[in-house]
Amino acid sequence: MVPLSSLAPGTQATVLRIDIPVAQRGRLMEMGLLPGTVVDLVRFAPLGDPLEIRLRGYHLSLRKRDADQIWVQL
């Protein structure tokens, strides 16, 4: 289990746990970021924040601090 932010671009992983506070977690879950979801890390912004992931057929940008709290399995 590793944080989403530690993946290299082009890596695919499955979300295991989301440790983001409930207020922000609900919004991410509404967008389809749920435990069991397969995500691809597309790229990091030039300064490393935010990062872009692909899930369920669309792209989502996340702040690095949020991605640090999303645990995935390769």
Tens-of-pLDDT digits for all 74 residues of the chain?
999 999 999 999 999 999 988 888 888 888 889 999 999 999 999 988 999 999 999 999 999 999 999 999 99
The CATH number for 6's domain is 2.30.30.90
Domain count, the chain: 1
Query: CA-CA distance, 5 to 22, in Å (whole number)?
Result: 20
Summarised one tens digit per residue, pLDDT across range 20-40 is: 888 888 888 888 899 999 999
pLDDT for res 26:
85
Name the phi and psi angles at 5, rounded to 5: -70, -15
Query: CA-CA distance, 72 to 66, in Å (whole number)?
Result: 13
Q: What's the whole-model pTM score?
A: 0.90
**Residue span of the structural domain in which 32 resides:** 2-73
Task: For residue 12, give the 3-state DSSP assignment.
Answer: strand
What single DSSP character describes residue 8? P
